[in-house]
Amino acid sequence: TDDEAHVVQFLTAMPAKNEIERAVRLRERVTSILRLLLAAIGKTPHLLLFDDVHEFDYMSRMFVDRLVSVARGFPLKIIVTSETPHIQPGELGQSMILTRLDDDLIAPLVLRNLKVANEESYHNHAFTLCQSAMGLPLHVSEGIHLLLEGGVELSSNLSDIIQTRLRRLPPKAMRLLQLSTCYGDEIPLSLLHAAEGLNDAFQEALRVLIKRGFLQQADAEHVRLRHPVYARMIPAQITASVRLDFHAIILDYLEGENGPCHLMARHALAAGMLEQAVPHLECSGNVCEEDLDDYSAVENYKQAYDIIKIATLHGQELAHFAQLSARLGDLYRFTGQIASAEEVLKEGLLVCEDSPSEEAVILSSLARLTMNSLKDEERAGTLINRATRKARESSDPALLYRVYFDLSTIELARKRFSQGALMLREGLKVVSSLSNSPMSFWRLFLRLAEFEFQAGQQEEAVRILMNALSVGETTLAELPKGRIHYMLGQFFLRMGRPHDAEPHMQKAVEYLQNIGDRQGAAEASLTIAESPTQDRERYLDRAMYLSMQIGWKQGLEKVESLRHPTGKKPN
């Protein structure tokens, strides 16, 4: 199906088979997962709970937003919890801020949990707890645990109650709990075994923690903290040296288990092992990029950047710092953090005298930033020319492609079509001379054709694309074929040759749908339908089908306007 490839790639974390643009891949992946979920729901009523959405990654938040927007008409209720309102009240739903419990609710709750409703002393404790808790559910819960454990020191301070409970723990159980809270909310038992040994004392300590409500069994291999507050409060009470030791133990365990990069990075930082944290931070940033979460990638690379920046003050890690500057600067630019992007790129530029490749990337990124955000065409042109000169010193095809693609973007924006075509031809000649051209090399031919067409050389533009198709008939993947056919169709339409355009748009629809760009395929179908064609209704049907699949409102509206240009539907 149209959704299968996107869903399988997401569930298996398989690399993409084609270099489909990130924005397209994100849009299509979210759409496919959404369609899979709604198909699974069918006609059966469901309640979905998304807890702590403020901690979700970018794609997950985007998915929740899309789900909420299309849920109407399905037997589906959605609950979203967040530290701040994630969904604004309105037609789609309601927003509720959780407040304190009433005393009338707390008293019977306390007595029922203590199971001694007839004993006067516990009635007194219930009254005291109601007064001290002031309606806070966690305060009530901790107070009940304290009473069940034989304590009577009911404080009006939640922290005091938790500290009292902790002091009543046996030493072995206390150490086990401290290690657990340093790890996080869900702890692998294998970590606790490795750190404390698998013996009777360990089993007894674990039993005590579960019985007293600090831990609960998640599954056969994990235990879970009963409340996230323990992970915030308990480590803060541990002496710094002991806390560092705990995080070092956890890091050693994770590295032995080849654990997730983000966890190794977190515990390396918490253990004070800054140099050891850097590769884990970079690995985590790379994983976030692959997961289409540029915002989380920024956080990881920024921490690595700050650590390596210290080393540069002593003349060390200069090339590494330049690499991080280039990568972080690009991500800041992609996420719209313009001031941060400029600062990071300029700092990287100061240390890359001996790294021409990184200097070329930084200059190229600065040029894009200057052109798109700072609107300084002349400076952007100067920067990209410097980047081009530096890139020519390299034999790295990916670098050359990157710089010349950025150059083409800037020259298009400056409307310097003839000059841009000339410079791009030079770049194509350089890249073509290398034995291993990058996968995205075909995009430079698209840009060159666009330059020539805008410069008035329409037949030359068509020839460039036709040559690209003929030369790459057996080697080009479906994505470049789809994009090239789409551009050829557009060129022919702008040249007043709709009959020549139609077969190329047909192929574009086929290829783009095959690679998973349903919106692109719908746009191509609509483009044909707008031109003189005998199969207008067939293309409108295809555009409607694809637009309905992905919930593309503008596409559906365009179909409607083309079918009923007067705005009136037939009776």
Range of lowest pLDDT (154-168, 315-329, 424-438, 443-457): 424-438
Q: What are the chain's domains? A: 4-80 (no CATH), 103-166 (no CATH), 169-259 (1.10.10)
| pLDDT classification of 123: cutoffs 50, 70, 90 | low
Who wins on pLDDT, 131 or 25? 25
231-248 pLDDT, tens per residue? 999 999 899 999 999 999
Tell me what pLDDT residue 100 has. 81
464-494 pLDDT, tens per residue? 999 989 876 667 889 999 999 999 999 999 9
What's the mean pLDDT in 376-389? 93
204-213 pLDDT, tens per residue? 999 999 999 9
What's the mean pLDDT in 111-130? 67
Tell me what pLDDT residue 104 has. 77
Whether pLDDT at 148 is above 70: yes
CA-CA-CA-CA torsion sign (172, 177, 179, 180): positive
C-alpha to C-alpha distance for 302 and 565, rounded to whole angstroms? 52
Whether pLDDT at 122 is above 70: no
C-alpha to C-alpha distance for 48 and 42, rounded to whole angstroms? 14
384-397 pLDDT, tens per residue? 999 999 998 888 88
Tell me what pLDDT residue 120 has. 56
What's the mean pLDDT in 199-222? 93
Element at 217 (helix H, strand E): strand 215-219
C-alpha to C-alpha distance for 278 and 370, rounded to whole angstroms? 30
C-alpha to C-alpha distance for 146 and 123, rounded to whole angstroms? 15
Tell me what pLDDT residue 84 has. 74
- Phi-psi label, residue 242: left if phi above 0, alpha if psi -120 to 50, beta otherwise: alpha
258-287 pLDDT, tens per residue? 999 999 999 999 999 999 999 999 999 999
To the nearest 10°, report the CA torsion of 366, 367, 368, 372.
100
Quote the crossing angle between the two packed helices 518-530 and 478-494, to the nearest 10°. 20
Who wins on pLDDT, 436 or 541? 541
Contact, 445 vs 464, CB < 8 A?
yes
Tokens of 464: 């460039």
Pairing of strands 46-50, 76-80: parallel
C-alpha to C-alpha distance for 88 and 69, rounded to whole angstroms? 12
C-alpha to C-alpha distance for 109 and 53, rounded to whole angstroms? 29
Closest CA to 511 of 546, 539, 545, 482: 482
Whether pLDDT at 117 is above 50: no
